[in-house]
């Protein structure tokens, strides 16, 4: 299956109960995007054309959302009906954890899948579902090149002081270290800066990926030097349902005094904390901003406070600051959060112009501000598609 023969590249981003899809031409033009939601339950599939309009699924099309295999088979039936003669040359997968050794995407071959499965203890809520998507794709497209793109790879340039914990060195050697996540998003933003703001890209920039999952990353000359997420996707900022930074003594207390086992603590920290736990209302920032309850206000206050605190810390790691970029669902769309983060950060040179902020940027700082502040939509799928196309083309050259 040759991409230059007109066959497509498919990208898959498998979550615990969802599957995000991107379909790209050989020239990396967007053909369709989609989302399968609520896998394992009353699932649904929505596909959209390159202009964002919804695509109508074939009437009476058989659907199966019982598991990731069924969901992928459903997607394939829909795509084949909507794009007759479609061929898939390569499939790119978002894989949350690549461990300490993967600095970039890889072709899934040999024992690669087994080696990635060995990392499941490091990301128990994400890695198994990512790998389930790979296995389903291998079954559906046995002749296609399968490529894994890692959320951790972008952060492998961290210096040791931003990569380690103050534990006995043996744990570091076993892989207990700060990995950082959301790397595909940060890679996209780094590339966008290099293309559109080249002078800024060579400087000191903090990127705030704010969504249901949230983190921040310090870039120097386009490379990650520090991140708010650490060993797991729990650390750093409070998120939709995740707690963010937490004194490890709290975990010991929950075990010793509350009698909670590992499964109960995992459920608490990953699924019942964050904005949802603090507000008692919702994990959705739009709902919280519209609410008049004190708990919702306090949840937003804490979210903003932690962003400001991490902004100062990452600026210290960079030894200064030239730019700030907001991205992710909240970062791209919440004018309120962006404005509130900038409040009180003038000492760092961070200011937001109300009119530019209301227009959603891309530049939202005042003219001549010491720190350039941007709001840029991120695109993890195109990062996966580009890497997949490059590795597929390299494979074809080797086999020619």
The H or E element containing residue 135 is helix 127-140
Helix H or strand E segment including 162: none
Rounded distance between C-alpha atoms, residue 19 and residue 132, angstroms: 11
Alpha helices in 59-168 (DSSP H): 68-82, 112-117, 127-140
Distance, in Å, from the CA atom of 261 to the CA atom of 215, rounded to the nearest integer, reads 27
CA distance 136 to 76: 11
In this structure, what DSSP letter does residue 6 have? Answer: T
- 24 with 11: CB under 8 angstroms? yes
Max Cα-Cα span within the chain: 65
CA angle (214 as vertex; 213, 216 as ends), nearest 5: 150
Please identify which residue in the block is written with the tokens 């590339």. 191
> Is there a cis peptide before residue 362, judged by omega within 30 degrees of 0?
yes
Q: Whole-angstrom Cα distance, residue 240 to residue 249?
A: 23
Active-site pick, 64, 111, 151, 379 = 151
Supply 74's token pair. Answer: 């459903």
Alpha carbons 176 and 165: distance in angstroms, whole number: 8
* Helix (H) or strand (E) run with residue 79 in it: helix 68-82
Residue 353 annotated in active site: no
Q: What is the CA radius of gyration of the chain?
A: 21
β-pair partners for 23: 10, 32
**Crossing angle (nearest 10°) for helices 294-318 and 335-342:** 60
- Work out the burial of residue 399: count CB atoms within 10 Å of its CB; fewer than 13 is exposed, 13-18 middle, 19 or more buried: exposed
d(CA 391, CA 146): 9
Beta bridge partners of 387: none
Q: And the tokens for 271?
A: 């699924």
Q: What residues are annotated to the active site?
A: 151
């Amino acid at each position: 299956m040759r991409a230059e023969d007109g066959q497509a590249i498919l990208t898959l981003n498998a979550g615990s109960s969802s599957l995000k899809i991107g379909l790209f031409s050989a020239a990396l033009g967007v053909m369709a995007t989609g989302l399968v939601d609520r896998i394992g339950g009353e699932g649904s599939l929505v596909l959209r054309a390159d202009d964002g309009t919804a695509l109508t699924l074939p009437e009476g099309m058989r659907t199966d959302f019982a598991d990731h295999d069924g969901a992928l088979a459903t997607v394939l039936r829909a795509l084949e009906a909507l794009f007759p003669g479609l061929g898939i040359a390569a499939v790119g997968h978002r894989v949350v954890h690549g461990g300490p050794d993967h600095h970039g995407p890889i072709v899934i071959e040999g024992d690669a899948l087994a080696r990635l499965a060995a990392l499941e203890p490091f990301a128990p809520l994400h890695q198994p579902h990512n790998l389930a998507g790979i296995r389903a794709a291998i079954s559906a497209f046995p002749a296609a090149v399968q490529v894994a793109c890692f959320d951790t790879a972008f952060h492998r340039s961290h210096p040791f002081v931003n990569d380690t914990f103050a534990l006995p060195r043996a744990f570091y050697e076993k892989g207990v270290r700060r990995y950082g996540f959301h790397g595909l998003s940060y890679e996209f933003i780094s590339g966008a800066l290099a293309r559109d703001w080249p002078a800024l890209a060579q400087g000191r920039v903090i990127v705030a990926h704010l969504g249901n999952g949230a983190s921040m990353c310090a870039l120097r000359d386009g490379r990650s030097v520090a991140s708010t997420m650490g060993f797991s996707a729990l650390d750093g900022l409070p998120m939709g349902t995740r707690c963010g930074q937490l004194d490890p003594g709290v975990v010991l207390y929950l075990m010793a005094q509350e009698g909670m086992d590992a499964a109960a603590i995992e459920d608490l920290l990953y699924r019942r904390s964050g904005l949802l736990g603090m507000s008692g209302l919702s994990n959705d920032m739009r709902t919280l901003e519209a609410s008049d309850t004190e708990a919702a206000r306090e949840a937003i206050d804490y979210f903003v406070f932690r962003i400001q605190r991490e902004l100062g810390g990452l600026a210290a790691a960079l030894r200064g600051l030239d730019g700030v970029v907001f991205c992710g669902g909240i970062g791209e769309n919440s004018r309120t959060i962006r404005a509130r983060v900038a409040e009180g950060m003038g000492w760092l040179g961070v200011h937001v112009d109300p009119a530019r902020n209301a227009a959603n940027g891309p530049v939202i700082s005042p003219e001549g501000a010491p720190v350039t502040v941007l709001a840029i939509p991120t695109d993890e799928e195109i990062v996966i598609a580009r890497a997949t196309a490059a590795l597929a083309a390299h494979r074809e050259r080797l086999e020619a």
